[in-house]
Amino acid sequence: MIKAEFLIFDLDGTLAATGEDIAIAVDHTLKTLGLATLNRERILSFVGDGVEELIRRCLGGENREFFARAMKIFLEYYGAHLLDRTVLYPGVRECLDYFRDRRKVVISNKRQDFTVRIVHELGIAPFFEDIVGGDVMPYKKPDPRLVEPYLQRFHIPREGTVIIGDGPNDILLARNAGVWSCACLNGLAPRNNLLKLRPDYTCESLLEIRGLFS
């Protein structure tokens, strides 16, 4: 069992069940534009690379001319409704409290303003030393430059660092940064997509990581 001195958490599908609000906002966007809607599973399969990619994928190549309008509609609607149905996953607060004496940050490809609002409104911001969204830096997950500054700032070795998330980008970020990965298998991404990447650890709920890391 490794000692996790530094834990990096994803947000969507890891700490918070945000999928329903995202899917509803996409559905509203497509309907407003008069376009065919998509089922929830398909919409959520597009989550993980930031809002621009989400909208591009939902529009499809045949509707690229709607991109600017779709972005405006989505951002306005989601900004007003991002906490309508979003809740913490079971055990999140207990997990964070268990590791309360360890350094922790949130790194998400979600926009910074949305990421910060959700973390604060769900009452878990005090557990984290930093909250980083996808538009803060000129690069997103899985770019290891997101991790390097923290390793230097906190003086924590790579072998004491673990990235916990439900998406392929979280596993790839850990691999690219040379740290441990832990895949949350009950998030937004299909579990088979995660298992194919051979994460170092897996969990069905965040409560399980209490038994994975000391």
pLDDT at 2: 87
Strands (E), 12-160: 16-17, 87-88, 103-107, 130-132
Q: Which residues are catalytically annotated?
A: 10
What CA–CA distance (Å, rounded) separates 98 from 194? 25
The total of structural domains in the chain comes to 2
Residue 1, domain member (yes or no): no
Regarding whether 132 and 28 lie in a shared domain, the answer is no
Residue 200, domain member (yes or no): yes
Instruction: Return mean pLDDT, the chain.
Output: 96
Residues 6+ apart with CB under 8 A from 198: none
CATH number at residue 60: 1.10.150
pLDDT at 1: 83
Residue 141 is part of which domain span? 6-17+86-211
Regarding whether 179 and 108 lie in a shared domain, the answer is yes
> For 8-67, how does the pLDDT look when each residue is reduced to its tens digit (9 = 90+)?
999 999 999 999 999 999 999 999 999 999 999 999 999 999 999 999 999 998 999 999
What CA–CA distance (Å, rounded) separates 179 from 11? 19
Under DSSP, the state recorded for 7 is E
Residues 6+ apart with CB under 8 A from 205: 89, 90, 91, 184, 186
Regarding whether 135 and 71 lie in a shared domain, the answer is no
Regarding whether 132 and 49 lie in a shared domain, the answer is no
> For 135-173, how does the pLDDT look when each residue is reduced to its tens digit (9 = 90+)?
999 999 999 999 999 999 999 999 999 999 999 999 999
Regarding whether 91 and 52 lie in a shared domain, the answer is no
Regarding whether 36 and 12 lie in a shared domain, the answer is no
Residue ending a domain, choose from 57, 81, 105: 81
Regarding whether 161 and 69 lie in a shared domain, the answer is no
CB 124 within 8 A of CB 92: yes
Regarding whether 90 and 184 lie in a shared domain, the answer is yes
